[in-house]
Each structure stands twice: as structure tokens, then as C-alpha cells.
Amino acid sequence: MSPALIITAIVTILAAATVMSLRNLVHCALAMAITFSGIAAIYLQLSAEFVGFAEILVYVGAIAILIVFAILLTRSGESPEKSVLTSGWGAGIVVSVLVFTALGWAVLNSAGLPKAATAAPETTVKNIGEALMGKFILPLEIVGLVLTAAMIGAVIIALKEDPKTDNSGRKS
Amino acid sequence: MLGEQIIKGMAVTARNFFESYVSKDRLTTVQYPEERLPQKGNTRQFPFLVYDGDDWEKGLRCVACQICEKECPPKCIYIVKSKDKKPDYKGQPQIYPLRFDIDISVCMSCSICVEVCPFESIKMNTEFELSTADRFGGLLFTKEQLAKPNSYYQKVHPNDAAESDAVIASEKAKAEAKAKAAAEAKAKAAAAAAATAATPVPPATTT
Amino acid sequence: MGNMFTALDQIFVNVLHWLVSFVPEPWHPFASALLCISFILMVFPAFFSIITIFERKGIGRIQNRYGPNRVGIPFTKIRLCGFGQFVPDGLKMLTKEDIVPRAADKLVHFLAPVVMLIPVLLAYAVLPFGRKMTMTDYDAGLLFFFAIGGAVELAVFMAGWSSRNKYSLLGAMRAIAQMISYEIPLILSAVTVVMVVGSLKLVDIIAAQNHYAYGIAQWNVFTPWGLLGFMLFFIASLAESNRTPFDLPEAESEIIAGYFTEYSGFKFALFFLGEYLGMFAISGLGITLFLGGWTSPVSFLTWIPSYIWFFTKLITIIFVFIWIRATLPRMRMDQLMNFAWKFMLPLALINILVAGIWHFMAVDWQRWIVCSFLVVFSYVILGRGLMRGQKLGKRNYRYAE
């Protein structure tokens, strides 16, 4: 493990812990942006450039902004009075430890895991593009269809229901 | 088509840009300290005191009547009267200001002092480059700084100065005529007194 | 002769190698990175300060004024046509009081200008300033640029939210809405280049444009899809860098400079710097994608050093930015959104189609006619659609009785 990876990992985990422990939701969202950036940095250290940049583009540039906007449009600025530690936190810890153990066990015993570190495969953007356009064309198309449907749905929700009952006081 | 008007607008601004280098007439700005616009006839900034003759202390028209001090809306004038008297331009003995200060950081250039002055003594200056590094002492103008010769007034405000000169001249003439009349009356009275020296009559009162 | 020009062209690269050779071998990558970073940190802020003077003088001339023409070398009569103005400007900014509103979120308020500047400076890492003058030649360099640009929105939000000011928050909301809307045509117009060149590497994109036919360079902008793509890219980059006519987020007459209402002194200077550096970066990307990067427009001028071509093109683009700023009034929010979603986005999608047709048709005059027709036709039709229902002309005012 390189020192750079350790630093990035510590920053990422600390930021993730901050997301859970802060009271102010906007601060949480900003801390989450740091977490996303940390994950992107880890991808870059694994020389997975495309994934790393896509992580920044999608998560920092879009998802974080979306979360922040959702908070801003739905809640007032005051942070809640209650502590972040609610009554059920003991049970929560037990559940999370169990889930982590199960996941770790599954990962360590999975058949596909190489026992020794192998040379990283040369993954260029071209490879990813060819894979998306060749082998994985059907999933890509389905994702595109789902997203288009979601967008049309959003447009329909945002549309005015009846232009005649426009209450802006202006006659069209 | 979309964008046509944008191209037209861009052409206009481009012409402005290039022609401003070619023709000086397009530029409305004046390069101030080197180039100056002529001042308007009625320009007024802050008051000054007019004096006649060469010696400002002797020729100061102000008689410390303190009307301007009382009328000044922001109370920026401060006058101390003298105890002794000295003759004014008419030759009458008058008191004069020992101190005459104007705080130009307070003055609002309303020129009410000019309007109320009965002696054509305080007038408005056109000087405007009065910036100083000392904001207290530097902006408090004393009698020495305020005194300007009548020729200066004639230069900065020729029309007003002519009017003011005419007033002064008529005052002077009036005073002279009065003095003359008084002298004549005196002479007459003296003559009459001489003529009626024998008869005891009450002496003629000079007016 | 040719050797001399090659040496001149590569002077910065050679100086870098020479300087790096002084440090021990294992430190070479570190020293090289440090020198590259200091090069960017020196050149572009200096360029920024010069450009602010150009902007003030240029806008002055357009409005028939002189603009700043006084400040030169102190204690002498040399005035340098006012090009010393940036020194007092900068000093003024740096010596001003740094005011933080009492209700502000102190930490976020402090971090916002920093978060603004970091991605903007990072974006320079992939720009090729000249032949072999790229800091890091990422395989997905173009994606890196756009990804990093997305982080600017977060900084804008942080600034607007932490100030606890209505105007700041409104400005931030406007800025984010605008940036997200215009990022789509920006990226889609760049996609055409990626499609035709077949690489996300900026060096490869320049290499694909670096050949000449009849002595004229084969830049992407000299094709129908490239011209339309460049126009879309240019308009979107105006919006991305918050320049007039898309300067609604910082409209001083409506929302008092928007998200940096509550910033003063050094922090304001950082925002100002970040905004201009972002503008240079995105112009540099536009040059790389469509205007051939550091290549010369005609084959007989290839001896001029490559970085000179890059900076000449950059200054030209910045001048057009300034020119537009001095010409056009600010748009309204609904006009802005209509323009992005109803005009730029469909046009960008059509342009991708046109680029595909261009790529697969045989190299002769037919593809020119087909592609040009498609581009002009869609432009006219979409432009009409955008203008429809708008009453243009003299405005009728109604006054109170």
C-alpha cells in the first residue's frame, strides 16, 4: 500500500464519518462531496482514469448538487435540535457489524478473487467504449431507455396541467 | 434569421472601437489635469474675501458685520471682531475682522453669504482643486488664504465683478457726494455763521 | 535555421529538462511536476492581470472612452498606456478589509473561494499549450476537464449558501441552474470532435488537426459540423464562465453580484481570479478542440513557436468575449433556459448526427453539401422555433393614468 492510498483512504473514511455525524444537512452534503472526490482519487490511483473522472463528473458535479438542491428546496436552514445518536443506535451498530462481516466473508471467499496481486489489465477509454458498444450494448440501451422515461416523466410532472387556468394574471 | 441583430450590434461596437482610435471627436472624455474644459460662467465652489489695492490687510472690504456668519446655514464661518477701527474704501473708520475662518469641509457652496453681504466683500471662488493631506487644518481657510484681490474676482466672474464694481463706485460716489454736500453745508453754515456773527443765533446744525 | 526555430519552439521543455537534471534521479517526477505547477501559477495569473487591463481599455474604446491610461512606472513620467493599472488594482483588493457576515457559515464561507480556484487550476493540467507542452497527457483528458469543471458548481453553491444572504443564494441558484443547463450543449458539442478523431486525448485531437491541404490547416472549425460545434461550444462557454449576456448569476443591477455579494478583499480577488482562469481554460479547450490547438493556420507559418500560436488564439477568443460583453445586454432567466433547452440542445444533437454522416461519407464534395445543408437547415428551423411567439419590435409602454 502506497502512502498516497493511505492518505486518500483516511480522508475518504473521515469524510464519510462526518456525513453521518454532522447535524447540518448542507454540511453533510458537502462532506459527501469530499467522500466522492476521495473515491475518485482511489480510482485514479488504481489507474482507472475513466471511472475516476466519471465519478467526479457524475457524483461531485451532479449528485452532490442535486442533494444540496433537494435539501435547500425542502427544508429550512435550521439544523435539528435532536442529537444524531437516536435511541436505536445500539441495534444499528449490531446490524452494521453483521452486514460488514457478511460482506467481508463473501468477498474473501468469492471464487473470482485472485489470491495474489496480478498486473492490472491495460484498460483504456477505447476498451471501455468498445465494450459498451459491443458486448454490453443491450444494458446500455436499456439504461438509456429508463433514463429517457424518467426524463419524460419529470417533464410531465413539471408541465402546467391546464394552460387555461394559468393564474399568473396574464391573458395568453 | 436568429443572430442577425447580434451581428449588427457587434458591427456597431466594432466601429466604435476602431473609430475611437482614428477620430478624436468620438471620445467625449477630457484628459483632466492636462486638458481642461472651460468653466461655466456661474461656477461657484467656496467663498473668498475681496480686497482692493495691493495690500490685502489694508484693502479688505469686510467690516466684520457678522451677517454672513449668522446667515450661514451650516455655520462654517467664524469671525472675531477687532477692537480698533481702520478706514474702509469710503474713508469711514470701520472695525475689521481679526479672524475670518471658513471651514470648507462644512461649507455647502450655497452662496447665501454672498447674497447677504452688504459690502460686496464675500464672493464665490471657482477654485476646486482643494484636496489636501490634512483634513482638519488643511480644509480650514483663514483670512490670509481667503483674501483675493478684486482683479482676481474680475478675472473669474467678469459679469458679477462688473456689477459689484458698479455698486462700489456708486456707493463711493454717493459717499463723496454726501461728503461734498456735508462740506458745502458746513461751508454754508460757516458763511452763515460768519454773516450772522453779530446776531446771536443758535449755530447751524450740520446734517 | 530550422534547428533554431525548433529550439525556440521547445525552449520551455528543454529548460524544464535542464532544471530537473539538477535534482537526484528519484526526485525527477516530483521536481518536474513542481516546475510545471509553478509555470501555470505564474503565467496564467499574470495573463489574467493583463487581460483585465485589456478588458477595461477595450470596453472603454467601445464606449468611446479612453479607459485606464494613467498608471505606469511609479515616480516617473512613463505611463505604459495604463498597463500598470493591475498593480494598484491588485494591491487595493489585497489590502481591503475581509468582511465575514455575522450569520455566515464561517468555515464554508472561507472554503468556497479555495474550492472555486482548485478545479480551475487543475483544468490546466491537461491543456496542451504547445508542442510537447502538456502537463499530464491523460487518456481521458477531455473527460477530466469536464469532470473538474463540474466541481466549480459546488464552490458556487458553497459561496451562495454560506453567506446567508438572499442575493447570494439567488445568485447561486441561478448560477447552478445555468451551469448545469449549458454543460449539456458544451459536452455534446465536444462529443462531435471525439467521434471524428476517435480519442479523448487532447494531444491526439490536435494531432488529428495538424495537417494541411492547399496550405490551409485542416482544423475542425473548417468543416460544417465543426463550425456549428464551435459556435455551440463558444456560446456554452460564455454561459459556463458567467460572461455577458449570460451573467445573470452575478447581475449587479438585480441581485448585487450574486453569490459573491458577501465577499470582499482577498476572497473576492480569488473569485475574480477563478472566474477569469476558468474562462481562459475553457477557451483553451475550445482552441484545442476546434481551432487546432497550437498549430498554425497556414502551412508557411509553421516555424512560429507553437505556444505563440496558442496564446494568440487565446487572446483572440478572449477579445471576442470582451467584445460580446460590451455589445449585448443581459438575458432574462426564461430566455436563458429556452435558449439552452430548446435551441442549443437540439442543435447539438443534430450536430452529432451531422458529424456521424461526415465521418462515414466518402471524402469528396458531396459530404460538404449534405452536411452544410443539414447544419444550415436545422439552424434556421430551430431559430424560427425559438423566435416564434415573441413580439419583437418597438415596445409599447403603459403608464399610470
As for the ipTM of the complex, it is: 0.76
Query: How far is it, in rounded angstroms, from Cα C86 to Cα C49?
Result: 6
B1 within a domain of the structure (yes/no): no
A153 within a domain of the structure (yes/no): yes
C233 within a domain of the structure (yes/no): yes
Same domain, C325 and C210: yes
Query: How far is it, in rounded angstroms, from Cα B160 to Cα B111?
Result: 13
Same domain, C162 and C214: yes
Query: How far is it, in rounded angstroms, from Cα A56 to Cα A37?
Result: 6
Q: Where in the sequence is the domain holding C91, given as residue range(s)?
A: 1-95
Q: Which residues contact C41 (CB under 8 A, 6 or more apart)?
A: C121
CB contact under 8 A, C61 and B21: yes
Q: Provide the shortest C-alpha distance from residue B33 to chain C (in Å).
A: 11
Residue-wise pLDDT for C146-170, tens only, equals 888 888 888 888 888 888 888 888 8
C140 touches chain A (CB under 8 A): yes
Same domain, C142 and C225: yes
A93 within a domain of the structure (yes/no): no
Q: Provide the shortest C-alpha distance from residue C81 to chain B (in Å).
A: 13
Same domain, C32 and C125: no
**What CATH number does the domain containing A17 carry?**
1.20.120.1200
Peptide bond into C45 cis (omega under 30): no
Closest partner CB to C147 (pick from A30, A33, A56): A56
Peptide bond into C245 cis (omega under 30): yes
Number of domains into which chain C is organized:
2
A41 within a domain of the structure (yes/no): yes
C238 within a domain of the structure (yes/no): yes
Of the residues C285, C301, C330, which one is the last residue of a structural domain?
C330
- Please give the distance of CA C159 from its chain centroid, rounded to a whole number: 21
Closest partner CB to A53 (pick from C147, C180, C198): C147
B6 touches chain C (CB under 8 A): yes
- B115, B32 Cβ separation under 8 angstroms: no
CB contact under 8 A, C327 and B1: no
**Chain C residue closest in CA terms to A31:** C108
Contact of chains A and B by CB distance (3 or more pairs under 8 angstroms): no
Spell out the per-residue pLDDT of chain A, length 172, in tens. 688 888 888 999 999 888 888 877 888 888 888 899 899 888 888 877 888 888 888 888 888 888 888 887 776 555 556 665 667 778 888 999 999 999 998 888 876 666 555 566 666 777 888 888 888 899 999 999 999 999 899 888 888 766 555 554 444 4
Query: How far is it, in rounded angstroms, from Cα B117 to Cα A77?
Result: 65
Which segments of C96-243 does DSSP mark as H helices, in order? 106-123, 141-162, 166-197, 202-209, 224-240
CB contact under 8 A, A50 and C180: no
Of C159, C178, C173, the C-alpha closest to C104 is C159
Q: Where in the sequence is the domain holding B66, given as residue range(s)?
A: 47-149
Half-sphere exposure of C249 (CA within 13 A, CB side): 24
Same domain, C7 and C38: yes
CB contact under 8 A, A60 and C150: yes
Name the β-bridge partners of B123. Answer: B48
C388 within a domain of the structure (yes/no): no
Taking each helix axis as running N to C, give the angle between helix C11-20 and helix C28-62, from 0 to 180 degrees, rounded to the nearest 10.
140
Q: Which residues contact C237 (CB under 8 A, 6 or more apart)?
A: C186, C279, C282, C283, C285, C286
A86 within a domain of the structure (yes/no): no
List for chain A the helix, strand, coil content (%; round to 5). Answer: 70, 0, 30
Same domain, C179 and C313: yes
Question: Residue A88, exposed/middle/buried by CB under 10 A (0-12, 13-18, 19+)?
Answer: exposed
Query: How far is it, in rounded angstroms, from Cα C344 to Cα B147?
Result: 72
DSSP C211: -
B155 within a domain of the structure (yes/no): no
A88 within a domain of the structure (yes/no): no
Which residue type sits at A117? A
Quote the cell numbers at residue A102: 457478511
Query: How far is it, in rounded angstroms, from Cα A35 to Cα A43?
Result: 13
Query: How far is it, in rounded angstroms, from Cα C287 to Cα C127?
Result: 10
**What CATH number does the domain containing B144 carry?**
3.30.70.3270
Q: What are phi and psi of C163, to 5 degrees?
A: -75, -20
Q: Where in the sequence is the domain holding A156, given as residue range(s)?
A: 122-162
Query: How far is it, in rounded angstroms, from Cα C164 to Cα C105?
Result: 8
The SS3 assignment for B134 reads coil
Name the β-bridge partners of B94. Answer: B86
B77 within a domain of the structure (yes/no): yes
Name the β-bridge partners of C105. Answer: none
B199 within a domain of the structure (yes/no): no
A128 within a domain of the structure (yes/no): yes
The count of other CB atoms within 10 Å of the CB of residue A34 is 18
Same domain, C262 and C317: yes
Integer CA distances (angstroms), C235 to B98, C261, C390, in order: 73, 26, 21
DSSP A111: T
DSSP assignments along B43-75, one per residue: ---SEEEEE-SS-HHHHB------HHHHH-TT-
Query: How far is it, in rounded angstroms, from Cα C156 to Cα C249?
Result: 10
Quote the cell numbers at residue A32: 459527501
Number of domains into which chain A is organized:
2
Name the β-bridge partners of C213. Answer: C216
CB contact under 8 A, C176 and A65: yes
**Which chain A residues have a beta carbon less than 8 Å from that of C139?**
49-50, 124-125
Number of domains into which chain B is organized:
1
B93 within a domain of the structure (yes/no): yes
Q: Which long-range contacts (CB under 8 A, 24 or more apart) does B28-37 make?
A: B28/C64, B28/C65, B29/C65, B29/C66, B31/C66
List for chain B the helix, strand, coil content (%; round to 5). Answer: 40, 15, 40
Sites in chain C below the pLDDT cut of 70: 1-2, 389-393
**Which chain B residues have a beta carbon less than 8 Å from that of C386?**
2
Same domain, C156 and C77: no
Successive 10-residue mean pLDDT values, chain B, 207 residues: 84 88 82 83 86 80 86 90 78 82 89 87 85 85 85 83 84 82 82 71 53
B56 within a domain of the structure (yes/no): yes
For chain B, the residue count is: 207
Residue-wise pLDDT for B138-149, tens only, equals 888 888 888 888
- Please give the distance of CA A26 from its chain centroid, rounded to a whole number: 16
CB contact under 8 A, C66 and B28: no
Q: Provide the shortest C-alpha distance from residue B87 to chain C (in Å).
A: 52
**Chain C residue closest in CA terms to B17:** C62
Dihedral angle sign, alpha carbons of residues A33, A36, A41, A42:
positive
State how beta strands B47-51 and B77-87 pair: unpaired
State how beta strands B147-149 and B47-51 pair: parallel
B102 within a domain of the structure (yes/no): yes
A8 within a domain of the structure (yes/no): yes
∠ CA C256-C162-C331, nearest 5°, is 35
For B100, the enclosing helix (H) or strand (E) is strand B93-103
The SS3 assignment for A159 reads coil
The SS3 assignment for B108 reads coil
**Chain C residue closest in CA terms to B25:** C64
Radius of gyration of chain A (CA): 22
Q: Provide the shortest C-alpha distance from residue A135 to chain C (in Å).
A: 19
A171 within a domain of the structure (yes/no): no
B51 within a domain of the structure (yes/no): yes
Same domain, C291 and C257: yes
Q: Which residues contact B166 (CB under 8 A, 6 or more apart)?
A: none
CB contact under 8 A, C323 and B14: yes
Of the residues C330, C362, C392, which one is the last residue of a structural domain?
C330
Of the residues A21, A55, A76, which one is the last residue of a structural domain?
A76
**Which chain C residues have a beta carbon less than 8 Å from that of B1?**
380, 383
- B175, B90 Cβ separation under 8 angstroms: yes
Closest partner CB to A57 (pick from C143, C176, C199): C143
- B111, B47 Cβ separation under 8 angstroms: yes
Of B156, B174, B148, the C-alpha closest to B41 is B156
CB contact under 8 A, C140 and A125: yes
**Chain C residue closest in CA terms to B34:** C70
Query: How far is it, in rounded angstroms, from Cα C294 to Cα C298?
Result: 12
Which residue type sits at C401? E
C347 within a domain of the structure (yes/no): no
Looking at residue A24, its pLDDT comes to 78
Q: Which residues contact A23 (CB under 8 A, 6 or more apart)?
A: A79, A80, A84
Query: How far is it, in rounded angstroms, from Cα C242 to Cα C233?
Result: 14
**Which chain A residues have a beta carbon less than 8 Å from that of C151?**
37, 56, 60-61
| Residue recorded with cell 473669474 | B156
Q: Provide the shortest C-alpha distance from residue B29 to chain C (in Å).
A: 6
Of C293, A163, C63, the C-alpha closest to B19 is C63
Quote the cell numbers at residue C257: 453580484
**Which chain B residues have a beta carbon less than 8 Å from that of C343?**
2
C215 touches chain A (CB under 8 A): no
Of C326, C368, C364, the C-alpha closest to C226 is C368
Which segments of C163-221 does DSSP mark as H helices, in order? 166-197, 202-209
